[in-house]
A = this chain, B = another copy of it.
Amino acid sequence: MRIAELSSRSGTSIPSIKFYLREGLLPAGESTGRNQADYGDTHLYRLRLIRALMDVGKLSVAAAREVLAAVDTPDLPGHSLLGAAAYSIQKPANRNPDDPHWQAARREVLERVRARGWEVDEGVPAVDLAADAVAAYRQLGQEDLLACFDTYLEVCERIAAQEVGLVVARQDAARMVEGVVTGTIIGEVLFNALRRLAQQNASAKLLQ
């Protein structure tokens, strides 16, 4: 199909499609003449994935490029395939890694996670993000809220087992990596939205 049809079928404007092509998120179509190219269903699907990652998941162009590179390399070994999303999708925080409060928070996160028997790579960005949050709670005098930490660990263990189990059940490597990417990023949006609704419900019930 021509770019105009790709645009109308995907609901994405032609300038946006050209931007994704230029940024290397969308592979080029097959050239059919000067300034004309032919696009197929894989382009249509890829456009939907780009928009889900960027519009729903709020990934930056750079983060989307990294995630899509993982999708395009489904022959990674199983574990690194499933780990790819964990590495590539965090925005860098504006933190001072030499701050002793932050370092103490980071040690605390690793200790609590390991005490639960989790195998985690110490270099993964999620460890630093959890440390950011713990350090912020303490600095703001909100450490009573850390009473939720163990509940979070328990609950995360339960949902991760189901999420990873669903993806592994797919067998096909390409479908697995797609599942990791969408399940991690879109699943986070879904979970966070439901948590907000649950908080609204809990406060309505507690305060009525």
Q: Which residues of A contact B (CB under 8 A)?
A: 11, 45, 48-49, 51-52, 55-56, 58, 78-79, 82-83, 85-86, 91, 93-96, 99, 113, 118-121, 124, 126-127, 129-130, 132-134, 136-137, 139-140, 142, 144-145, 147-149, 151-153, 155-168, 170, 178-179, 182-184, 186-208
* A55-B93, A55-B95, A163-B148 known; A189 vs B132 contact (CB < 8 Å): yes
Q: How far is the CB of A148 from chain B (nearest CB, A)?
A: 6
Closest to A192 in B: B188
Q: How far is the CB of A158 from chain B (nearest CB, A)?
A: 7
Residue in contact with A119 in the complex, picked from B91, B160, B204, CB distance below 8 Å: B204
A156 in contact with B191 (CB, 8 Å): yes
Complex CA–CA separation, A193 to B134 (angstroms):
11
Q: How far is the CB of A109 from chain B (nearest CB, A)?
A: 8
Complex CA–CA separation, A188 to B132 (angstroms):
12
Complex CA–CA separation, A41 to B194 (angstroms):
36
A199 in contact with B86 (CB, 8 Å): yes
Residue in contact with A152 in the complex, picked from B179, B190, B199, CB distance below 8 Å: B190
